[in-house]
Amino acid sequence: MKFVDVAKIKIVSGNGGAGAVSFRREKYVPMGGPDGGRGGDGGDVYFRAKTSLQTLMDLHFKRVYKAQNGTAGGRRNCSGPRGSDITIDIPCGTQIYDDEDVLLADLCEDEQVFLIAKGGRGGAGNDAFATSVNRAPRYAQPGLPGEEKFIRLELKLLADVGLIGLPNAGKSTLLKAVTNASPKIASYPFTTLFPNLGVLKFIDREIIIADIPGLIEGASEGVGLGHDFLRHISRTKALIHLVSGESGDAQECLDNYKVIVSELTKSFPEILTHPTIVALTKADIMFPDQNETITEFFNSQGIEVVSISAVTGHQIDILIQKLVELLK
């Protein structure tokens, strides 16, 4: 399934129906008065958040949504039927912007509904304009037009924890090890092409974790994939910054850590204020002395790290415990 987290669409509410110009034509009732009915209101357009949806893909392919117009009024003071509303389903966590980039709504709860465009009001029939001095008005109101808007939708996944790090740092492997997710895992960079969500069950609570595609140096200038998906960790309560210890070189590990911090500083500096755990991954393929050297080197820089292996489960329980404490 293609992951689509941004969509631009046009929405149009229904036009109101015109009022009717009509006069009574009944036997034994000479000079019948006006009896034109009101036109029906145009249909409204709503957005509705659904937890069952994970992407804006449907809106990516269908770009125009139009509610039904109201029907014109009829004889004998019959009002025209109201136009049918339309409801556009979107994933929870979707933000709605107008064409001037003003945030109109942020739908985060299941079944939350937002009225985006009100249908035009139906026009009054000539019966409404009859007075003592004008008993036979020959005019009625036209229906008012509906609203037309260009909308930008931006999905931000609702997750408690975001996994960040360079490509191949072990984010997908960790997500699979601690949750029910089944991300694609391989030994080459950019295996993850879109964010994955998993649920970590810990005693009496569930923690939603998002695996964000890897950042690389230059992401703030649009290089790589990670920059496109950083919006998804803007809502998280905490981060796990994964640094691969595969090289066994302490300075290289620190440099890799600093690459991510630098790119976040340039792009989304507010993310750096989130509580963060730094995890040294792939402990299973490092020599014990390398593991110890890298850990001590990070500590000397004021960076506390926990060394883990998502493959063997080494210290995963400690990482989870730290995460739970952090979320408290």
**What is the set of domains in the chain, with CATH numbers?**
6-155 (2.70.210.12), 161-327 (3.40.50.300)
Contact 15, 69 (CB under 8 A): yes
pLDDT at 185: 47
SS3 213: coil
SS3 140: coil
- Closest C-alpha among 245, 251, 205, 213 to residue 229: 213
pLDDT at 152: 95
pLDDT at 100: 92
pLDDT at 12: 97
Q: pLDDT of the chain along its 328 residues, tens only? A: 456 788 999 999 999 999 999 998 777 766 678 999 999 999 999 999 998 887 888 888 899 999 999 999 998 889 999 999 999 999 898 999 999 999 999 998 999 999 999 999 999 999 989 888 888 899 999 999 999 999 999 988 778 898 988 888 888 889 888 886 565 544 444 444 567 778 888 877 788 888 877 566 554 455 454 556 667 777 888 999 999 998 889 999 999 999 888 888 887 788 888 899 999 999 988 888 999 999 999 999 999 999 999 889 999 999 999 999 988 8
- Spatial separation of the C-alpha atoms in residues 145 and 275, rounded to whole Å: 50
- Spatial separation of the C-alpha atoms in residues 118 and 104, rounded to whole Å: 14
- Spatial separation of the C-alpha atoms in residues 98 and 199, rounded to whole Å: 33
Burial state string for 77-115 with b = 16 or more CB within 10 A and e = fewer than 16: bebbbbbebbebebbbbbbbbeeeeeeebebeeeebebe
pLDDT at 181: 59
Q: Is 303 exposed, middle or buried (0-12, 13-18, 19+ CB in 10 A)?
A: middle
pLDDT at 262: 86
pLDDT at 1: 45
pLDDT at 189: 45
